[in-house]
Amino acid sequence: MSSSVSPASFAVRPQIAADKPAISALQNRVFGPGRYAKASYRLREGVEPIDALSLVAMREGDTAIVGSIRYWPVMIGPNASSQMDAALLLGPLAVAPEVQGKGAGLALMKESLRLAAEMGHRLVLLVGDLPYYARVGFSQVPRGRVVMPQPYDPDRLLWLPLVPGAEEDVAGAMLKTR
């Protein structure tokens, strides 16, 4: 007999208003209050996440939320004002500790990135661990090419073009949308 563990199966669906307390509790549990000091949160303040890309995950046959993902609009560059300067900021991606490593985060990313591409978005950025996010195609942003508000680790700034070449002319400061 094989002792390998098969990945869990997760249902992914759009977030609804009634999910917000459970998502907030999940994020508090996974990230703690220190998350509000991060650069990504400065770019999210006063800006609503993109509803169509805000998803939750549950174990198949269960209604408890064990994962969530959100995306936020950002602009990049000194003259950022056009759709060509727009990008998505992924995060937070929160997965309950008891199901981490079982595929919930991957399921959320694959579905949300598929939807983002379908909606016409061109580029996604995030601050995270390259080995984890490379599984869905993210790569490191060349150092200094895109700059976020401090504090952040530029070696953890990653991007994924949803359209071939979407990152080619992207450079400058990442700004929150108004």
- Which residue is it, tokens 């269960």? 62
CA atoms within 13 Å, Cβ hemisphere of 144: 0
For position 3, what pLDDT does the model report? 33
Q: Residue 68 is encoded by which pair of tokens?
A: 């969530």
- Which residue is it, tokens 């208003």? 17
Q: 75 with 81: CB under 8 angstroms?
A: yes
Q: Which of 159, 163, 12 is nearest to 89 (CA)?
A: 159
What's CA 6's distance to the chain center, in Å? 25
Report if pTM > 0.85.
yes
Q: Residue 40 is encoded by which pair of tokens?
A: 């990504």
In order along its 178 residues, the chain shows pLDDT tens digits of 333 333 568 999 999 999 999 999 999 898 877 665 566 767 878 888 999 999 999 998 888 999 999 999 999 987 665 555 589 999 899 999 999 999 999 999 999 999 999 999 999 999 999 999 999 999 999 999 999 988 889 999 999 999 999 999 899 999 888 6
For position 6, what pLDDT does the model report? 39
